Structure 1
Amino acid sequence: MSTTSSTYTYASLLCAPEDLDDLLKWLNDHSQSSVLIEEGDPSRLVFVPPDTASAEWLLMESALISLGATAIDLQSARQEDWQEIWKEQGFKSFTVGERLRVVPSWEDPEDRPALETVRIDPQMAFGTGLHETTFRCLEQIVETAGQWPKEPRSILDFGSGTGILGVAALTIMKEATLIAIDNDPYAVEATRHNLRVNGMEDRGLVYGAFEEITPATPLPTFDMILANVTGGILCSTTPMLYEMLSPKGRMICSGVSKEETDTVARVLSGLSGRMRNVPGERYDTFVIDKGRSPS
């Protein structure tokens, strides 16, 4: 990752809408950076590249062009300037149902006592609620808080990005604690930062890998697992994640493109419990309730 003092190099690529999913999947599979997505015609992806003087970057650039990137620009920004970048992307306050609202850290929220407030400073990580996968997960968190027989007390946010999902869950579920995992160092810092922004630093721990939690000892179990990643990652990690889900826990999975839906559904249907698909416009979200018979 290219860094000088507090200045970061980021890559911005343009592509046709029909190439967006392939490019995003490739970046998720081959880059440790979170990816900012701006859908449109053309669509735009923004991410932090490896050292731009390295062979790794040259190979990455060539692969992205072969997958449909029509232009790739390298730009520099100070970490504090990312707020302006997110403002340009249209990140502003929004509500999720009648229970929750998400507010950028630079905005003053309106006085609406009926709504719980989550404040988010994205920095250089993925997850503001602008993308449909994040929003669908937020909807399911709100639904769980309103309908689940017993409020979750332990939560895992796998692939936390900004930490928006874990922080939202802690905001609604007052007695819960959180473990967040992300292999992107910027996401780890963003999640820790957003826990502090919301006064929750004593309720959440953030790691870059499971091995950092309890080396050589069994992993903890969780009442709720949030995994907004990709279909490929879900297929490879779900068996491990499901073992960590408590006997009557709920797992919310998203980031599944329409092309991946059937494959992911086959993997998830092999788990014991009740699974349902919450279809979106371009991505699907799955909810699995452990300890419940398939409907």
Structure 2
Amino acid sequence: MNGEWIEIKVVTKSEAVEPVSGIFYGLDVKGVAIEDPNDITERPSGPFTWDYADYNIFEYGKDAAIVKAYFSKEEQIEEILNFIEEKLKELRDLGIDIGIGKVIRNKVQEEDWANEWKKYYKTTKIGNSIIIKPKWEDYNPKEGEIIVELDPGMAFGTGTHETTMMCIEFLEKYCKKGDRVFDIGTGSGILSIVASKLGADEVIGVDLDEVAVDAAKINVEYNKVNNVKILHGNLVDVVDGTADIVIANIIADVVIYLASFVGNYIKDNGLFISSGIIKDKQDEVEKVLIQNGFEIIDKNNKGEWVAIVAKK
């Protein structure tokens, strides 16, 4: 993973993050992430070579959001840029407000950006007891706290995004000792590790992104959880049997797609925890879940995002 990468970013609006993310998921991305002004505690300065180097998110207003992805320099970048522009136009034609919809391309030295962003990623408490601690920070745990050490690298899932927070809170509420858990789109592996530390007996995290799989495996090693297996591929291709909990922190359209068959991988009375759902898609997701035999038993929202717990 060392060397030069091409970073492509779309400056959009918070409510359009999901459909814009969907554009990147249609490409062979080597990492995808979302930047939100609410997640930034101090204004960056200096000659950085990462994503705040060439512009500042604050210049686009409090409602601005950035979806970014990384590609190897050997890929057909011009074709990828044209594809993204065409898809953004389609979103506009559908009446989706994507804000300025600006597309920015940068050459990024992985070593540079991978170290600079760490300045803005701090230890965070989520729920009643989960502490997400960057690998490079010191922290003295209090009694009863569960520490998850993380270095997400180029994979989604630092714990600071609202969707990840809600999924962790629901795992804390529903995951119990002896559970078997499937984590779809594991990203950095954060949810798999949390499930293990909450007492799950076996956890399987899957992701289509090889970069995410590599990052998740490293984070599993950091946390010394020997009951977590990280697999590259699709749930239906690489996982056998059923789980007490299946969790998917992806996007609404993928949750809708999963709803038609994910029940085959969930035990009777088991749970499907889903997030990455923009508020405007909540009713549609709930309707599809109910149509496929699920009962909505819990839900939460933070910002523009929703998380749903459905019982089989």
Same fold (TM over 0.5): yes
Counterpart amino acid of residue 15 in structure 1: T
- Please report the TM-score for the alignment, with normalisation by the length of structure 2: 0.79
Q: Supply the distance in 2 between the matched residues of 1:17 and 1:248 (Cα, whole angstroms).
A: 34
Counterpart amino acid of residue 181 in structure 2: I
* 8 Å CA contact 1:32, 1:183 repeated in 2: no
* 8 Å CA contact 2:7, 2:107 repeated in 1: yes
1:157 aligns with 2:183: yes
Aligned residues: 276
Offset, 1:43:
2.4
Q: Which residue of 1 aligns with 2:48?
A: none
Offset, 1:278:
2.0
- Secondary structure class of the residue paired with 1:187: helix
Match of 1:274 among 267, 285, 295: 295
Map 1:2-21 to 2 at 5 A.
Answer: 5-17=2-14, 19-21=16-18
Offset, 1:246:
0.8
Q: Which residue of 1 aligns with 2:80?
A: 57
* 8 Å CA contact 1:103, 1:118 repeated in 2: yes
Q: Supply the distance in 1 between the matched residues of 2:124 and 2:173 (Cα, whole angstroms).
A: 17
Q: Supply the distance in 2 between the matched residues of 1:179 and 1:143 (Cα, whole angstroms).
A: 19
Q: Supply the distance in 2 between the matched residues of 1:211 and 1:20 (Cα, whole angstroms).
A: 27
Offset, 1:281:
2.2
Map 1:65-214 to 2 at 5 A.
Answer: 66=89, 68-79=100-111, 81-87=113-119, 90-145=120-175, 151-173=177-199, 175-210=200-235, 213=238
- Once the two structures are superposed, residues 49-82 of structure 1 have per-residue CA deviations (whole angstroms, 9 ceiling, x without a partner) of 3645445323234236646432403121225741
- Please report the TM-score for the alignment, with normalisation by the length of structure 1: 0.83
Counterpart amino acid of residue 183 in structure 1: L
Q: Supply the distance in 2 between the matched residues of 1:108 and 1:221 (Cα, whole angstroms).
A: 38
- Once the two structures are superposed, residues 115-140 of structure 1 have per-residue CA deviations (whole angstroms, 9 ceiling, x without a partner) of 01001111101111111111000000
Q: Which residue of 2 aligns with 1:293?
A: none
In structure 2, the CA distance between the partners of 1:43 and 1:238, relative to structure 1 (3 Å rule), is: same
Offset, 1:31:
4.8
1:249 aligns with 2:246: no
Aligned identity (percent) is 23
Q: Supply the distance in 1 between the matched residues of 2:311 and 2:7 (Cα, whole angstroms).
A: 39
* 8 Å CA contact 2:5, 2:71 repeated in 1: no
Q: Which residue of 2 aligns with 1:261?
A: 282
Q: Supply the distance in 2 between the matched residues of 1:203 and 1:159 (Cα, whole angstroms).
A: 14
* 8 Å CA contact 2:299, 2:308 repeated in 1: yes
Q: Which residue of 2 aligns with 1:232?
A: 253
Q: Which residue of 1 aligns with 2:57?
A: none
* 8 Å CA contact 1:191, 1:206 repeated in 2: no
What is the root-mean-square deviation in Å for CA atoms of aligned residues?
2.5
Offset, 1:15:
3.1
In structure 2, the CA distance between the partners of 1:31 and 1:200, relative to structure 1 (3 Å rule), is: same
Name stretches of at least 5 consecutive residues in structure 1 with no aligned partner: 291-295
- Secondary structure class of the residue paired with 2:211: helix
Offset, 1:172:
1.2
Name stretches of at least 5 consecutive residues in structure 2 with no aligned partner: 38-60, 92-99
